[in-house]
Structure 1
Amino acid sequence: MKLGMRKPSLKKRIAAKTSLKRQVVHRTGIKMPKGKGWIRNPKKYASNKVYQKSTFDLFKLLKKLFK
C-alpha cells in the first residue's frame, strides 16, 4: 500500500472528467448516494478508504496552506 504524497497526473485527471462511463451515469440519474459506495462494491470501497487515509494530495495541501 502506498504511503505519503500522491503523484499528480494531468492525463488521468482529464480522462476522469471526460470519461463516457461517468457521463452516462450522471445523465441517466443512476448515481449512488454520497457515502453509500460500500453497497455497490465493498472490496473497492475498503481499498479506496485505506488509500485515501494513507496518502495525501499535493494540490489540496497547497490549497490549505495558501487559503
Structure 2
Amino acid sequence: MKIGMRKPNIKKSISARTTGKAKRVVKKTVIPGYGKKGTGWIKDPKKAAYNKVYKKTTFSIFDWFK
C-alpha cells in the first residue's frame, strides 16, 4: 500500500477529461447500477476497501492547489 504523494500520469489525466459525457449517459441507461454511489461495495468489496484506504493515505500534487 502506498503512503504519501501519488505520481501524476498525464496520459490518464487527459483520458479522464476527454471521455465524453455522452458515453457516460449511454452507460447509465444501459447498466442500471452505473454511476450510483456505493455500488463498488456490492460489486467488489475487497477492491472498494483498498481504494478507500489508498485515497486516505495518499495525496496528489494537485490537491495542494485546491
Q: Where does structure 1 lack aligned partners over 5 or more consecutive residues?
A: none
TM-superposition CA deviations, 1:5-52 (whole Å, max 9, x none)? 111111011233439xxx3x5413121411331011111101111110
- 1:43 is matched with 46
Equivalent pairs, count? 59
Alignment-derived partner of residue 26 in structure 2: 27
CA RMSD of aligned residues (A): 2.1
2:62 alignment counterpart: 59
Displacement of 1:55: 0.3
4+ residue segments displaced more than 4 Å: none
Distance 1:59 1:5 in 2: 10
TM norm structure 1: 0.68
Identity %: 53
Q: Which runs of 5+ in 2 are unaligned?
A: none
Q: Distance in 2 between matches of 1:5 and 1:32?
A: 27
